[in-house]
């Protein structure tokens, strides 16, 4: 029989995942064996007759189940990016088994007693800062996952966790299926004649991929976003907008009942653990500490920005009416008219900018960005196997030639990939028995594809998104330390967006833009005049966009900071949450929660506020770069030393103070948006 490549040492460069050998059918049997080995590792810790020590208990626990950790890192990343019927079935069958293993560890009284014994002796142990933090986090993790519960409550907690895992999996699957189920197929050339060439080319390519004539538009963001922005066909735009905003409300892929189930399970779990709400439980370990702090933050920010948001919308409404539009702007109208107004007000638009942001040039530019600030070098290695032909892999080294890790890029949409953009990793940093294993980082997006006539040209927003995700990637690649649970992006949820969002500031810096942004046909460097327009338009719709993000955070908190499941249906509940912050008409029968992957399946439950929270941090932190030079190597080294390399060895507020020399300025974001 053929050896399972997931259970053997990879012969690929740097021990990278052997995607040239791994088949979808390999994961299920590999998990079966890895789970047994992981349980054996845990049992060995329990059965060790020696007195519990940091090394034989805490450190051993951190590295237990090495095969399971390796396979999980690969499987879950690939299942998000390139799923299949086999992988989806594996995920469903695996979910209860992984939950059972988690409960086997965290609810094991014998194991917890050993952890507790070491924890109670912590003051007398000669531990490094990193070791002390691992001990503290390990003990708290057991306590927060039910180790102190009675046997009866442990059984209930285990059952709830399994149900919650399955519900989250179903939620995410429904979104992907609902997204793929809708297409707008156009065969009348007159309907698309007004659209920019790049939009028509994209739609034509999507149609050909399906064996269709004409043009095909989908609910993937590059497609629907372009149609809403450039088409004047209100009827078709309304159809697409409604399709997108009623995804998973009723029908074959209904998520409304799934949401209610998830909310109920989260409340029950939190109550078992002694918390009033899931929000109290989730936020306890973050910078914010309490839901009250989060709600105060969101409401305060809403109060300061809602007037500006309503002025933004009124301005677009006035412009549309002055240019022949009759009646009130609807959500499916806003993108079109705001784009036209931006073009007229600032003489800038998406189509004008795209030729300067050819993907290969942008990619080279973000590599140069990392080289100037952190001394990193990136070299494509075609010998490293990849899981899809679109994916490219790069070796990353520092200025001294030290291997820092691998970086994988997966840029374009496909039916097997979920929407959005994200960073994850196949392997996190660790040092065990003196051997350092550097991280394997992946960055996944859904950017506009190249066509038969043009290369991949990014919108300015897509360029910003790539630099954002690259920030997460740098957080992983520049990690230092021994323990995976403390390194890289393993930090507080409301701190993890600082390294990514701070990168977005460079997209408005002329020094950076003129170093790479050249017209893909003429080679012309992006003109200073155009950069000035980008900068002038930086805060265009800032109030509107800020309020929209705050709304998302409030919807998240509405579902996760409640003592019981709302009695209203999902749509009505969301409508009530939005009532005080209306900027655009609310459309009956629509809601974002049924397709809000971040908070019901993506790890951001009671954490979506993190984006705005971290925006305050990064607006403040970037001021240090701005004052000293945006490519000042000394400041870059400080940011790497105090933030990017430290993981969660220290609390997030300490890391920020170490870099800035003070606490965050709470008005930094308001000042940057020009609203103070």
Which is it for the CA torsion 199, 204, 210, 216, positive or negative? positive
Q: What angle do CA 231, 237, 238 make, to 5 degrees?
A: 155
- Tell me the C-alpha distance between 192 and 120, whole Å: 70
- DSSP string of 599-629? HHTSS-TTTTTHHHHHHHHHHHHHHHHHHH-
- Where would I find the H helices in 375-518? 460-477, 498-501, 510-513
Which residue in 508, 509, 501 sits closest to 619, CA to CA? Answer: 501
Residue with tokens 């008005």: 667
End-to-end CA distance of the chain: 69
Q: Are strands 430-432 and 435-437 parallel, antiparallel or unpaired?
A: antiparallel
Helix (H) or strand (E) holding 111: helix 109-120
Residues 473, 407 contacting (CB under 8 angstroms): yes
Q: Cα separation of 263 and 279, whole Å? A: 11
Q: How far apart are CA 271 and CA 460, in angstroms?
A: 45
Q: Is 469 a catalytic residue?
A: yes
Region label for 347, one of left (φ > 0), alpha (ψ between -120 and 50) or beta (otherwise) = left
CA 198 – CA 462 distance, rounded (Å): 15
Measured from the Cβ of residue 328, the count of other Cβ atoms closer than 10 Å reads: 11
- The residue annotated as part of the active site, out of 162, 269, 351, 469, is 469
Is residue 427 within a helix (H) or strand (E), and if so which, with residue range? Answer: strand 422-427
User: Rounded to whole angstroms, how far apart are CA atoms 356 and 348?
Assistant: 13
Taking the CB of residue 359, how many other CB atoms lie within 10 A of it? 22
Q: Is the dihedral of CA 105, 422, 265, 252 positive or negative?
A: negative
Tokens read off for 147:
């180790």
Cα separation, 662 vs 654, whole angstroms? 9
Known catalytic residues are 469
């Amino acid at each position: 029989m053929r050896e399972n490549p997931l259970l053997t040492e990879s012969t690929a460069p740097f021990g990278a995942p052997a995607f040239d050998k791994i088949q979808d059918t390999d994961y299920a049997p590999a998990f079966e064996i890895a789970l047994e080995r992981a349980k054996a590792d845990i049992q060995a810790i329990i059965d060790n007759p020696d007195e519990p020590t940091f090394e034989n208990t805490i450190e051993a626990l951190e590295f237990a189940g090495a095969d399971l950790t390796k396979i999980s890192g690969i499987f879950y990343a690939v299942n998000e990016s390139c799923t299949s019927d086999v992988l989806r079935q594996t995920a469903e069958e695996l979910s209860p088994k992984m939950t059972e293993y988690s409960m086997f560890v965290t609810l094991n009284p014998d194991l917890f007693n050993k952890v507790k014994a070491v924890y109670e002796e912590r003051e007398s142990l000669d531990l490094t800062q990193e070791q002390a933090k691992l001990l503290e986090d390990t003990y708290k993790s057991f306590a927060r996952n039910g180790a102190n519960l009675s046997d009866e409550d442990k059984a209930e907690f285990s059952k709830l966790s399994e149900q919650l895992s399955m519900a989250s999996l179903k939620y995410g699957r429904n979104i992907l299926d609902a997204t793929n189920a809708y297409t707008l197929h156009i065969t009348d050339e007159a309907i698309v004649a007004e659209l920019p060439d790049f939009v028509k080319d994209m739609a034509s390519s999507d149609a050909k991929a399906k064996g269709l004539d004409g043009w095909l538009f989908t609910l993937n963001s590059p497609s629907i976003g372009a149609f809403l922005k450039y088409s004047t066909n209100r009827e078709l735009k309304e159809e697409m907008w409604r399709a997108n905003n009623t995804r998973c409300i009723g029908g074959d892929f209904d998520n409304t009942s799934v949401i209610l189930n998830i909310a109920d399970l989260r409340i029950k779990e939190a109550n078992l653990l002694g918390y009033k709400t899931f929000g109290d439980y989730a936020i306890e370990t973050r910078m914010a500490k309490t839901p009250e702090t989060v709600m105060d933050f969101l409401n305060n920010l809403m109060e300061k920005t809602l007037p500006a948001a309503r002025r933004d919308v009124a301005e677009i409404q006035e412009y549309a009416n002055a240019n022949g539009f009759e009646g009130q702007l609807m959500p499916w109208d806003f993108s079109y008219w705001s784009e036209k107004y931006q073009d007229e007000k600032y003489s800038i638009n998406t189509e004008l900018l795209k030729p300067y942001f050819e993907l290969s040039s942008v990619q080279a530019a973000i590599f140069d960005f990392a080289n100037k600030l952190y001394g990193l070098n990136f070299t494509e290695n075609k010998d490293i196997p990849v899981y899809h032909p679109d994916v490219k892999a790069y070796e990353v080294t520092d200025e001294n030639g030290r291997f820092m890790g691998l970086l994988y890029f997966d840029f374009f949409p496909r039916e097997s990939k979920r929407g959005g953009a994200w960073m994850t990793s196949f392997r996190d940093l660790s040092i065990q028995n003196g051997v350092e294993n550097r991280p394997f980082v992946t960055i996944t997006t859904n950017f506009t594809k190249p066509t038969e006539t043009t290369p991949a040209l990014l919108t300015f927003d897509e360029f910003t998104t790539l630099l954002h995700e690259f920030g997460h990637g740098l957080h992983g690649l520049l990690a230092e330390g021994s323990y995976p649970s403390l390194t890289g992006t393993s930090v507080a949820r409301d701190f993890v967006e600082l390294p990514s969002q701070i990168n977005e500031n460079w997209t408005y810096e002329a020094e950076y833009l003129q170093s790479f942004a050249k017209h893909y046909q003429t080679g012309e460097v992006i003109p200073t005049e155009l950069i000035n327009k980008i900068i002038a338009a930086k805060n265009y719709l800032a109030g509107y966009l800020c309020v929209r993000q705050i709304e998302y955070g409030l919807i998240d908190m509405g579902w996760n900071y409640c003592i019981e499941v709302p009695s209203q249906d999902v749509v009505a509940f969301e409508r009530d949450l939005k009532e005080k912050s209306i900027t655009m008409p609310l459309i009956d029968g629509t809601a974002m929660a049924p397709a809000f992957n971040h908070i019901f399946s993506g790890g951001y439950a009671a954490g979506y506020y993190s984006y705005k929270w971290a925006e305050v941090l990064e607006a403040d932190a970037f001021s240090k770069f701005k004052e000293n030079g945006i490519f000042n190597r000394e400041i870059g080294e400080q940011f790497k030393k105090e933030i990017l390399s430290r993981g969660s060895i220290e609390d997030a507020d300490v890391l920020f103070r170490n870099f800035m020399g003070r606490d965050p300025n709470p008005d930094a974001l308001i000042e940057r948006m020009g609203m103070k």
